Amino acid sequence: MSSTDTHHDLVDEHIVEEARRIYPKKVDGHFRHIKWGIQFATLAIYYFLPFVRWHRGPDAPSQAVLVDFPHRRFYFFFIEIWPQEVYYLTGLLIIAALTLFLMNAVAGRIWCGYMCPQTVWTDFYMTTERWIEGDARDRIKLDNGPWTLEKIRKKIAKHFVWILIAWWTGGVWVLYFADAPTLVYKLATLQPGVGEAYLWIGILTFTTYVFAGWMREKVCLHACPWPRIQAALTDEYALNVTYRYDRGEPRMSAKAATAARAHGAAAGDCVDCGQCVAVCPTGVDIRKGAQLGCIQCGLCIDACDSVMEKLHRPTRLIGYDTEMNLKRRECGEAPIYKPLRVRTVFYAVLILAIGGFMLVTLATRDDMHVNVLHDRNPLAVRLKDGGVRNGYTLRFSNKKPDVRRFTLSVAGVPGAQTEVVGVPPDAKGQVTIEVGADQTREARVLLSTHGAPAAKGQTPIVFTVTDAETGVATEVKDVFITP
């Protein structure tokens, strides 16, 4: 473009950044070790959790963590969730969101840098890439070089290992939805009836390979909503990976800096070696300040520290620091650290409150649940003798791993007759309903008055379901409708 007028700059600025490949360099240090640890732990949990056993009795599955869609159950160690208790999942999601907020208020996007699956698997993929193709310089040389046999061999080896990891990742995912050893056996021996599992393994193999192998930082920069939200949730007290420009500037070579200092002139610690940029998995220059691309993984800190050590300068020219401290240093004040703030305390209290509430309800929830559904069409039926009949569908949920028997009684309408379809009353007129271990059973209950009808309109009634052995009663309210 040849135009040089003032509008030129606007036009020349690309709306979409030109594609560039990032070749992060290997780095070693404090934060890299933390990252290794978390990566190892999270991957180990993901890959091996489905194989952990948890005995629950003869009729229940013995897998510690299992999402049992066919039987509508979710098992998590000692917790068993029924479909009507799915609000526990809502609670977990709220806690997860608040934890993310709390992490952010304390130390910025450390979720992104250490725990996010995108980061963990991308790091895993980069490690294998480095193992096969070598470090950054070798990879750049390989990619820019001609297609030699060596290059073809390395590329095939890399993608083969990547797909292998992706396949294993997708494979483990389906193990959370069925008995893991059985499913592994079925999949391995090509048994029929597991087509759905193959499909999901295929989908997840593809997404893992594409996301961790090809998209990497592009997911963080363009697809993930969290950096946008995060910017609105952070404040000047949150720890962020920060370049101390007060110490680093003006940049110059180590030699020039020594000379300048000898003459009493200002010289920064930053020698502009570019190592912080070279190791960054998202290709960010942290010296430009806090930015969207930074996932706070701290690898630039390790890189910078190793350089500072070699130069015998103090470390943490780049470090976890707060915006507040940058400002304070500028004014000559001592840095402060304030993890306890209204924001963090508020999040922590909310997390504890919701978590506590969930634990209490989990610990005290009933092992028996009764649901009543009044017939809607018709609401009430007129009988031959002038009486009125209402129909109800009762659903009994027996959450214990034993078969239980319940007696049913209905109170509220004097003289009304109770009938349970398919369950004849015993000699005393008592109706007993047997519900299988860890199962639900529906019963159709008909409540009829005879002769003189009950008061017009709605009469409140109470269904009482009593455990025949323990005598523990569950009451459910409904109404009897007289037209």
- Residues at the contact surface with another protein, assessed by CB under 8 A: 1-3, 5, 7-8, 11-12, 375-378, 381-386, 389, 391, 419, 421-422, 434, 441-442, 444, 446
Residue 379 Cβ vs another protein, minimum distance, rounded to whole Å = 9
Closest CA to 79 of 96, 57, 64, 60: 64
Q: Give phi and psi for 51, each to the nearest 5.
A: -90, 0
Task: Tell me the two tokens of residue 196.
Answer: 């759905």
Q: Give phi and psi for 417, each to the nearest 5.
A: -105, 135
Q: 415: alpha, beta or left, given left = phi > 0 and alpha = psi -120 to 50?
A: left
Cβ proximity to another protein: between 245 and 406 the closer is: 406
Residue 421 Cβ vs another protein, minimum distance, rounded to whole Å = 4
Residue 456 Cβ vs another protein, minimum distance, rounded to whole Å = 13
Task: Tell me the two tokens of residue 58.
Answer: 């003869």
Residue 205 Cβ vs another protein, minimum distance, rounded to whole Å = 24
Cβ proximity to another protein: between 312 and 384 the closer is: 384
CA-to-CA distance for 245 and 326, rounded, in angstroms? 8
Cβ proximity to another protein: between 367 and 419 the closer is: 419
| Residue 378 preceded by cis peptide, ω within 30 | yes
Residue 386 Cβ vs another protein, minimum distance, rounded to whole Å = 5
Decide: 329 and 335 in contact? Cβ < 8 Å.
yes
SS3 content of the chain, % helix, strand, coil (to 5): 45, 20, 35
Helical (H) or strand (E) element with 211: none
Task: Tell me the two tokens of residue 54.
Answer: 């948890």
Residue 348's Cβ-side half-sphere holds a number of Cα atoms within 13 Å equal to 10
Cβ proximity to another protein: between 4 and 364 the closer is: 4
CA-to-CA distance for 345 and 356, rounded, in angstroms? 16
CA-to-CA distance for 400 and 406, rounded, in angstroms? 13
Decide: 77 and 67 in contact? Cβ < 8 Å.
no
The C-alpha torsion from 44 through 45 and 46 to 50, rounded to 10°, is 110
CA-to-CA distance for 98 and 84, rounded, in angstroms? 24
Residue 228 Cβ vs another protein, minimum distance, rounded to whole Å = 24
CA-to-CA distance for 445 and 246, rounded, in angstroms? 79
Residue 396 Cβ vs another protein, minimum distance, rounded to whole Å = 10
Task: Tell me the two tokens of residue 116.
Answer: 């996010």
Residue 376 Cβ vs another protein, minimum distance, rounded to whole Å = 7
Decide: 399 and 440 in contact? Cβ < 8 Å.
no
Residue 207 Cβ vs another protein, minimum distance, rounded to whole Å = 21
Residue 377's Cβ-side half-sphere holds a number of Cα atoms within 13 Å equal to 0
Residue 398 Cβ vs another protein, minimum distance, rounded to whole Å = 12
Cβ proximity to another protein: between 328 and 444 the closer is: 444
